[in-house]
Amino acid sequence: MRIVQTVNTNPRHLPYMNIRVRYAPSPTGLQHIGGIRTALFNYLYARSSGGKFLLRLEDTDQNRCDAQCEQNLYDSLAWLGIQWDEGPVTGGPFAPYIQSQRTELYRQHAQQLLDKGLAYRCFCTTERLDQVRSEREAAKLSETGYDRNCRNIDSEESKRRSVNETYTVRLYIPLKGDITRFSDKLLGDIEWKNSDINPDPVLLKSDGFPTYHLANVVDDHFMEITHILRAQEWLSSTPIHVILYNAFGWKAPVFCHLPMVMGQDGKKLSKRHGATSIDEFRRSGYLPEALINYTALLGCSYEEGKDLYTVEELGTLFNVDKINKAPAIFDYKKLEWYNGQYIRKKSNEELADLSMPYALEQSLFGKEMLQPAIEQKNLYIAAMELVRERAVFLAEIPEKLQYLFTEPPLPAPEEFIPKKADLRSALSLLRTGAELLPEFFPNETALSDDAMEHIVKETAERNSIKLGDLLMPLRVAITGARVSPPLFASIRLLGAGRCQARIGAALTALTEACNN
């Protein structure tokens, strides 16, 4: 491959009246970040240009296709809010959009190439192909791919043998030093030596199903796809597709091969870097808005000085010219920041609703509880203010609020002790804190958090106590931990009775510890 020059055409001024792009995955695995980034860029390009975004299912590898993976595709796109204009379920003028339902069209076009002498039947068995591969490896030859054994079989003999013998249909790749040329919107003009192209790739398999190459080109033509945005790992397939377009006499779409998504170590993003499937991100408690926002920025720029975008804003601002050529680095910490930002934008009700499935899964309200009681639900909604500013994932919200719904285990005595203090000091500090509790609940109604804090500060100053030292034993008694959500809000939500019981149990435990 040789890149000749860089092309800088504004996609909004391309000679296409109606932009039509597609995402065409195989249902052989769960949707992951790389695939979703491709889907998202196509979706945003369609929205920014007033075009159409198609979803197509490339399921011709029947041995690897999985119905669960197909459903995962639909569920992942729906969760992310990426809605296709034409495709499975939705329908459209070029239905069906599932390749296994279009096999007759592929067979017809394979036959067209046979009739033109631009493809040929290959009668090589799997055993023969395996033998050729083994012999090359044993001889340490650099040659790879098909050895063109059937390329020169006479057409009449080929027809005669096809009656009784199993065969595939292979594409004639022009030889004799020919070069295949095409332009890429991002990479520029590219020249590819035909001698470097996969030798005579299979177009139609022996079971009558097409390979990716044939089905891809035929479908893109008949579905009137104008632009192909796909990962750079498919770049080596493009010369084959260009040869096919030329063989059929069709105009090729505009190609744009997107840079890869890499981990921090510079290697292709994979499970060793962390979560990669959309299901994993969803289970971990990421919000779809955060994942969309961050993924849209992987290798593409929008406005200076702005980080947060709605999907509508992204659909207005997206521009192919702003895609970077260099690989995009996936930064999990940056994604966590985005997730935290979107969590903070949620109301108490929204955040409670989003995190409720995790609360039920973690049995926050009791084992086998399918729904919380009304009082529990109201407390859970109110408690969102305690965690909103600190939460990074939805899944961690119930964990942080466990102490509000169940009695936490009484911590060990040493947990109550502030720095540079001892057990007796901790006991004295907790007694001082306990004496303030009635002031927090005059007429059984809790004061505001600010009012409680003011009382504690005045008490600390009056008794020459560090504020942090006074709060530490009280925090541990109330929440069961040295680090917790805001203390005064916790006291307010728990109420006087529950706070008094917890402080009383802690005072008893510390007194016993001091006497032993």
**Token pair for residue 100?**
């296994």
For residue 138, report the phi and psi dihedrals to the nearest 5 degrees.
Answer: -65, -35
Give the span between the Cα atoms of 23 and 97, in whole angstroms.
Answer: 11
**Boundary of a domain, candidates 356, 382, 403:** 403
Q: What is the pLDDT of residue 1?
A: 56
* Beta pairing partners, 28: none
Active site residue: 159, 271, 325, 457, which one? 271
At 481, phi and psi to the nearest 5?
A: -150, 155
CA dihedral 75, 81, 82, 87 (to 10 degrees): 50
Provide the strand spans (E) within 108-173.
119-122, 168-171
Joined tokens for residue 183? 């332009």
* Same domain assignment for residues 476 and 395: no
Same domain flag for 477 and 431: yes
Domain at 476, CATH number = 1.10.10.350
Whether residue 408 is contained in a domain is answered as no
Q: Can you read off the two tokens belonging to residue 376?
A: 């529990």
At residue 3, the pLDDT reads 54
User: What pLDDT is stored for residue 267 in this prediction?
Assistant: 84
The enclosing domain of 185 has a CATH number of: 3.40.50.620
State whether 424 and 329 are in the same domain.
Answer: no
Report residue 127 as tokens: 């055993």
Residue type, 278: I
271 is catalytic: yes
Domain boundary among 403, 426, 444: 403
Task: Report whether 57 contacts 97 (CB < 8 A).
Answer: yes
Q: Are 122 and 128 in contact (CB under 8 A)?
A: no
Burial 471-489 (b: 16+ CB within 10 A, else e): bbbbbbbbbbeeebbbbbb
> Is residue 257 located within the same domain as residue 306?
no
Strands 20-23 and 2-5: unpaired
Bridging pattern class, strands 188-193 and 179-184: antiparallel
**Number of domains comprising the chain:** 4
CA-to-CA dists, residue 320 to 46, 80, 278, angstroms: 11, 21, 24
Torsion of CA 260, 266, 271, 277, to 10 degrees: -30
- Contact yes or no for 22/55 (Cβ under 8 A): yes
Report the pLDDT value the prediction gives residue 368, as an integer from 0 to 100: 78
Amino acid at 506: A
CA distances (Å), origin 16, targets 19, 49, 52, 75, 199: 6, 10, 12, 32, 34
Burial of 127 (0-12, 13-18, 19+ CB in 10 A): exposed
pLDDT confidence of residue 61: 81
User: Dihedrals φ, ψ of 14, to 5°?
Assistant: -75, 150
The answer, yes or no, to whether the previous bond of 199 is cis (omega within 30 of 0) is: no
Instruction: Tell me if 320 is assigned to some domain.
Output: yes
What is the CB neighbour count within 10 angstroms for residue 318?
23
CATH number at residue 364: 1.10.8
The answer on 286 and 224 residing in a single domain is no
Q: What is the rounded CA–CA span in Å between residue 322 and residue 48?
A: 13
> Given this model, what pLDDT does residue 13 score?
35
| Residue 81 and residue 182 in one domain | yes
- Each residue's pLDDT, cut to its tens digit, for the chain (516 residues) gives 555 443 333 333 344 569 999 999 998 888 999 999 999 999 999 999 999 999 999 998 877 878 899 999 999 999 999 999 999 999 999 999 999 999 999 999 999 999 999 999 999 999 999 998 898 888 888 788 899 999 999 999 999 999 999 999 999 999 877 899 999 999 999 999 998 999 999 999 999 999 999 999 999 999 999 999 999 999 999 999 999 999 999 999 999 999 999 988 888 887 677 778 999 999 999 999 999 999 999 999 998 889 999 999 999 999 999 999 999 999 999 999 999 999 999 999 999 999 999 999 999 999 877 899 999 999 999 999 999 999 999 999 999 999 999 999 999 999 999 999 999 999 999 999 999 999 999 988 999 999 999 999 999 999 999 999 999 999 999 999 999 999 999 999 999 999 999 999 999 999 999 998
Query: In sequence order, what E strands does 345-429 have?
Result: none
Same domain, 165 and 246: yes
To 10 degrees, what angle do helices 212-222 and 103-116 make?
100
Q: In terms of DSSP H, where are the helices of 117-263?
A: 126-138, 155-162, 212-222, 238-248
Tokens of 106: 């592929």
H or E segment and range at residue 480: none
DSSP state for residue 259 in the 8-state scheme: P
The C-alpha R_g of the chain, in whole angstroms, comes to 32
Beta strands in 210-368 (DSSP E): 227-231, 254-258, 261-262, 328-329
**pLDDT (0 to 100) of residue 2:** 53
Same-domain pairing of 244 and 355? no
Give domain status of residue 31, yes or no.
yes
pLDDT (0 to 100) of residue 62: 76
d(CA 263, CA 17): 38
266 domain residue, yes or no: no
416 φψ region: left (φ > 0), alpha (ψ -120 to 50), beta (else): alpha
* Same-domain check for residues 64 and 118: yes
Same domain, 382 and 248: no
**Which residue range forms the structural domain that includes residue 461?**
413-515
Three-state SS letters, 25-50: CCCCCCCEHHHHHHHHHHHHHHHHHC
pLDDT at 15: 45
Task: Output the pTM of the full model.
Answer: 0.89
Do 61 and 189 have their domain in common?
yes
* 79 and 173 fall within a common domain: yes
Among the candidates 205, 230, 261, a domain finishes at 261
| Token pair in block for residue 176 | 């004799």
- In the beta sheet, which residues pair with residue 255? 184, 228
